[in-house]
Amino acid sequence: MTAVVLAEFACEADFSRAMGEAREKGVRIVDGYAPFLPEAGRDPRDRGPLLVTIALAIAGFAAAGGFYLLEWWTATLAYPFDSGGRPANSWPAFIMAPFEFGVFCAGLFGFLALLALCGLPRPHQGLFAVEGAERLSQDRYGLALEATDAAEALAQRAGALSIRKAEL
């Protein structure tokens, strides 16, 4: 569990200003709760999406390559079969199944990465125990900052409606 300062905002402008100021001051943003993710919620220096895309491509190509090698080994070394005098290593016959398997593995890897990056499965979310948090992400904006004195002062300056300490 992480001790946080949970600041509740009525409008997107205050929420975005608080996020920008937290980044500038070096206050760690633990989580954000909003009806939608405003543009200010994205950090332009974040390379996470690019790295995940590269990892998914590597997983797909590795799975497809491994499957192709398995087909090649089976057809040429383990169980060679003479079919009308054609070569045992006939790549056009082997290409569809590795492609499909590579797409499947990339999708499966992406799903598992999504679960891991979102911290799921999480049977209990500490936010549910905080009084008044049920309105966050419906018609209010909430920002969970690492519990420091600077975080409370930052939330007050940004115009938070309420500031609570919580364990997430």
Q: Are residues 54 and 38 in the same domain?
A: no
Give the pLDDT confidence score for residue 105 in this predicted structure: 97
Domain that holds residue 138: 3-43+125-167
- Considering the domain architecture, whether residues 91 and 59 belong to the same structural domain is answered as yes
Residues 65 and 103 in one domain: yes
Instruction: Report d(CA 28, CA 22) in Å as an integer.
Output: 7
**Of 152, 150, 163, 160, whose CA–CA distance to 24 is shortest?**
150
Say if residue 38 is in the same domain as residue 86: no
Looking at 117, 135, 154, the residue that finishes a domain is 117
Q: Give the separation between CA 26 and CA 7, rounded to whole angstroms.
A: 17
Residues 39, 53: one domain? no
| End-of-domain residue from the set 97, 117, 137 | 117
Burial of 12 (0-12, 13-18, 19+ CB in 10 A): middle
Question: What pLDDT, on the 0 to 100 scale, is given for residue 127?
Answer: 77
Is the bond preceding 87 in cis, omega lying within 30 degrees of 0?
no
Distance (Å) of CA 165 to CA 14, 45, 68, 101: 19, 29, 55, 48
Q: Are 16 and 40 in contact (CB under 8 A)?
A: yes
- CATH number of the domain within which 13 lies: 3.30.70
* Structure token digits, residue 153: 């002062």
Q: How many domains does the chain have?
A: 2
Tokens of 30: 């633990």
What's residue 43's pLDDT? 65
Are residues 63 and 112 part of one domain?
yes
Question: Is residue 101 located within the same domain as residue 137?
Answer: no
pTM of the entire predicted model: 0.66
Instruction: Kindly report the number of other CB atoms within 10 A of residue 66's CB atom.
Output: 14
Query: What is the C-alpha separation between 91 and 132, in angstroms, rounded?
Result: 62
Q: Are residues 59 and 110 in the same domain?
A: yes
Shared domain check, 60 and 35: no
Task: Examine the domain organization and report whether 33 and 61 are in the same domain.
Answer: no
For residues 68 and 108, state if they share a domain. yes
What is the reported pLDDT for 112?
94
Residues 55, 36 share a domain: no
Low-confidence ranges of the chain (pLDDT < 70): 1, 37-44
